[in-house]
Amino acid sequence: MPTATVTAFVFPGQGSQYAGMGFDLYNDFPSAREVFEKADAALKFPLSQLCFEGPEEELKQTINVQPAILTTSIACLSAAQEVCGDSLPSPAFVAGHSLGEYAALVAAKTMNLTDAVQLVRERGRLMQQASKQQQGGMLAIIGLDKSAVEEVCLQSDCEISNINSPGQIVISGSVNVLPLAGKLAKAKGPCRVIPLKVGGAFHSRLMKPIADEFRQIILNLPLHPPVIPLVANVSARPASNITAIQEELCGQLCHCVQWQSCVEYMTNNAVSFFYEIGPGRVLSSLIKHTIPNAQCVNISNTDDIRQLAKMSASR
- What is residue 242's predicted lDDT score, i.e. its pLDDT? 97
Label residue 82 by pLDDT band (50, 70, 90).
very high
The residue among 168, 195, 222 that closes a domain is 195
Q: Which residue has the higher pLDDT, 258 or 312?
A: 258
For residues 35 and 41, give the distance between their C-alpha atoms in angstroms, rounded to a whole number: 10
Task: Give the CATH number of the domain where residue 25 resides.
Answer: 3.40.366.10
For residue 18, is pLDDT > 50?
Answer: yes
Structural domain contains residue 166: yes
**What's the mean pLDDT in 71-76?**
98
For residue 13, is pLDDT > 90?
Answer: yes
Structural domain contains residue 240: yes
Structural domain contains residue 29: yes
- What is residue 1's predicted lDDT score, i.e. its pLDDT? 40
**Claim to verify: residue 80 and residue 190 sit in the same structural domain:** no
The residue among 195, 217, 238 that closes a domain is 195
Contacts of 119-123 with C-beta under 8 Å, sequence gap 24+, read 119/217, 119/218, 119/221, 120/66, 120/67, 120/70, 121/43, 121/63, 121/66, 121/67, 122/214, 122/217, 123/66, 123/99, 123/214, 123/253
The residue among 172, 195, 218 that closes a domain is 195
**What's the mean pLDDT in 18-30?**
97
Mean pLDDT of the chain: 96
**Claim to verify: residue 76 and residue 158 sit in the same structural domain:** no
What tens digit of pLDDT does each residue of 115-172 get?
999 999 999 999 999 999 999 999 999 999 999 999 999 999 999 999 999 999 999 9
**What's the mean pLDDT in 257-270?**
98
Q: How many domains does the chain have?
A: 2
For residue 96, is pLDDT > 50?
Answer: yes
Structural domain contains residue 1: no
Structural domain contains residue 49: yes
Is residue 121 within 8 Å of 63, Cβ to Cβ? Answer: yes
Task: Give the CATH number of the domain where residue 154 resides.
Answer: 3.30.70.250
- What is residue 3's predicted lDDT score, i.e. its pLDDT? 47
Is residue 82 within 8 Å of 50, Cβ to Cβ? Answer: no
Q: What are phi and psi of 276, to 5 degrees?
A: -90, 115
- What is residue 314's predicted lDDT score, i.e. its pLDDT? 67
**Claim to verify: residue 155 and residue 258 sit in the same structural domain:** no
Handedness of CA 292, 295, 301, 306 (dihedral sign): positive
For residues 63 and 125, give the distance between their C-alpha atoms in angstroms, rounded to a whole number: 5
**What's the mean pLDDT in 195-206?**
93
Task: Name the residue range of residue 100's domain.
Answer: 6-132+205-313
- What is residue 155's predicted lDDT score, i.e. its pLDDT? 97
- What is residue 269's predicted lDDT score, i.e. its pLDDT? 98
Does the N-terminal peptide bond of residue 55 adopt cis geometry, omega within 30 degrees of 0? yes
Q: Which residue has the higher pLDDT, 100 or 4?
A: 100
For residues 265 and 125, give the distance between their C-alpha atoms in angstroms, rounded to a whole number: 32
**pTM of structure:** 0.96
Nearest partner of 214 among 185, 249, 173, 262, judged by Cα: 249
Is residue 42 within 8 Å of 118, Cβ to Cβ? Answer: yes
Structural domain contains residue 84: yes
Is residue 245 within 8 Å of 239, Cβ to Cβ? Answer: yes
Q: Which distant-in-sequence residues (6+ apart) come within 8 Å of 247 by Cβ?
A: 239
**Claim to verify: residue 300 and residue 153 sit in the same structural domain:** no
- What is residue 289's predicted lDDT score, i.e. its pLDDT? 97
Label residue 83 by pLDDT band (50, 70, 90).
very high
**Claim to verify: residue 27 and residue 127 sit in the same structural domain:** yes
**Claim to verify: residue 170 and residue 270 sit in the same structural domain:** no
**What's the mean pLDDT in 46-73?**
96
For residue 315, is pLDDT > 80?
Answer: no
Structural domain contains residue 200: no
Residues with active-site annotation:
98, 203
Looking at the chain, the whole-number percentage of residues with pLDDT higher than 70 is 98
